[in-house]
């Protein structure tokens, strides 16, 4: 562990130290950020979370550990932003798993004090909660996406105006974003400079520099989705066209 006081070490640097095997730093992060973890879990569960009693907190704590070990500062997001998304996703997955496990909702069990003997009613309840979870999941991704867009001086409102109107143009722009994302040098350039390497990109695509400039904002917006772990927004890409 560094001789520097822990409180003086930037958070992202502490995360890197933990990844490199500094167990003291790792333990400190898990202990110090328990209130943060509890808040993230509480936002998903819509209730107070007791770190000593609630299973959901244990899921969140483990997810925070996973976030520490998998965080990559080169992706452009802050650690807390990244870890918040990881924790919430893990808790949502846990809740989804519990609710879809046969033991979670039995025909012989009660729901809100009433017997639910109708299989259709049981399925309806499961579908309702699944829809709620999916909506929450998507909303969290959109909130994080908006934060990433701000780093590129973009907004969702702008994207609505600059999105290519024709299917072929949209598909071409998405393909260009994939080229940017899959090329290590250009990908690194975009992440650092927050703009496209036009001179290099124009050599690898079949469109003019003018077309690239016209669709710049939309291409960058798609690039952000590709580089982030957005489950639902990536599904959106499959339907764009």
> Which pLDDT belongs to residue 153?
92
- For residues 122 and 185, membership in a common domain is answered with no
Domain range for 146 is 33-151
- For 241, the token pair is 């066209």
- For residues 123 and 203, membership in a common domain is answered with no
Q: How many domains does the chain have?
A: 2
- For residues 194 and 132, membership in a common domain is answered with no
Kindly list the distances between the CA atom of residue 47 and the CA atoms of 17, 39, 43, 112, 117, in Å, as whole numbers in the listed order.
Answer: 34, 10, 7, 17, 28
* Higher-confidence position of 55 and 107: 55
- Among the candidates 117, 151, 185, a domain finishes at 151
Q: Residue 114 pLDDT more than 70? A: no
In 3-state terms, the chain is what percent helix, strand and coil (to 5)?
70, 0, 25
| Predicted confidence (pLDDT) per residue in 75-98, tens digit | 767 888 889 989 998 999 888 887
- For residues 143 and 37, membership in a common domain is answered with yes
- For residues 66 and 131, membership in a common domain is answered with yes
Determine the average pLDDT of the residues in 46-73.
Answer: 90
Residue 225 in any domain: the answer is: yes
Q: Going by C-beta distance under 8 Å and a sequence separation of 6 or more, which residues neighbour residue 93?
A: none
Residue 25 in any domain: the answer is: no
> Which pLDDT belongs to residue 117?
45
- For residues 125 and 180, membership in a common domain is answered with no
- For residues 58 and 147, membership in a common domain is answered with yes
Q: Residue 129 pLDDT more than 80? A: no
- For residues 101 and 127, membership in a common domain is answered with yes
Residue 137 in any domain: the answer is: yes
- For residues 145 and 192, membership in a common domain is answered with no
Categorize the per-residue pLDDT at 238 as very low, low, confident or very high, splitting at 50, 70 and 90: low
Q: Residue 194 pLDDT more than 60? A: yes
Residue 4 in any domain: the answer is: no
Q: Residue 165 pLDDT more than 80? A: yes
Structural element, H or E, at residue 115: strand 114-115
* Higher-confidence position of 126 and 173: 173
């Amino acid at each position: 562990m560094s001789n520097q006081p822990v409180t003086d070490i930037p958070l992202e640097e502490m995360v890197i130290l933990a990844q490199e095997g500094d167990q003291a730093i790792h333990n400190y992060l898990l202990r110090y950020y328990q209130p943060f973890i509890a808040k993230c879990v509480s936002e998903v569960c819509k209730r107070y979370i007791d770190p000593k009693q609630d299973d959901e907190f244990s899921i969140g704590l483990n997810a925070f550990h996973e976030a520490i070990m998998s965080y990559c500062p080169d992706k452009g997001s802050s650690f807390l932003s990244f870890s918040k998304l990881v924790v919430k996703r893990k808790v949502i997955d846990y809740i989804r798993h519990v609710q879809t496990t046969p033991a979670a909702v039995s025909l012989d069990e009660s729901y809100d004090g009433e017997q639910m003997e109708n299989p259709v009613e049981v399925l309806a309840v499961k579908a309702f909660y699944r829809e709620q979870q999916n909506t929450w999941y998507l909303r969290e991704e959109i909130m994080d996406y908006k934060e990433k867009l701000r780093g590129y001086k973009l907004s969702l409102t702008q994207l609505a105006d600059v999105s290519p109107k024709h299917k072929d143009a949209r598909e071409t722009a998405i393909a260009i974003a994939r080229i940017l994302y899959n090329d290590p040098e250009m990908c690194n350039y975009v992440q650092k400079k927050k703009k496209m390497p036009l001179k290099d990109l124009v050599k690898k695509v079949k469109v003019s520099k003018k077309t690239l400039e016209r669709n710049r904002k939309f291409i960058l917006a798609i690039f952000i989705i590709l580089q982030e772990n957005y489950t639902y927004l990536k599904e959106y890409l499959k339907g764009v066209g």
